[in-house]
Amino acid sequence: MDDATVVAMWSIIVAGATMAIGSIGPALGEARALAEALRSIAQQPDESNTITRTLFVGMALVESTAIYCLAIAMVLIFANPFWGRIAG
């Protein structure tokens, strides 16, 4: 196995692990936030507009962590910084 194959193999493995591990936390956080929001709406139906708006903003912030993991995985697969060391 040459160096380029090893770097490509490890890049794909690390990109997959980054997405797998990096998406568990946001998924659990969003599920818990949704459950609490539904519980709050059930207890106070008059405040559903405020709760829903706050929920959407919070979910967008939580989802940004998974998007950062996706960006790192894409960099590792398509624009790997280690290719320059092998070529040079």
In a domain? residue 43: yes
With a cut of 70, say whether residue 88 has pLDDT above it.
Answer: no
In a domain? residue 3: no
In a domain? residue 2: no
In a domain? residue 46: yes
CATH number at residue 30: 1.20.20.10
pLDDT in tens, 39-73: 999 999 999 999 999 999 999 998 898 899 999 99
Q: Kindly report whether the global pTM for this prediction surpasses the value 0.85.
A: no
| H and E: helices and strands count for the chain | 3, 0
> What's the confidence (pLDDT) of residue 87?
66
pLDDT in tens, 23-41: 998 999 899 999 999 999 9
> Confidence class of residue 79 from pLDDT cuts 50, 70 and 90?
confident
Q: Retrieve residue 1's tokens.
A: 């196995």
> What's the confidence (pLDDT) of residue 7?
85
Domain count across the chain = 1
In a domain? residue 44: yes
In a domain? residue 69: yes
Query: Pseudo-torsion of CA 33, 39, 44, 48, nearest 10°?
Result: 40
**More confident site: 64 or 3:** 64
In a domain? residue 8: no
Domain with 49 in it: 25-80
In a domain? residue 30: yes
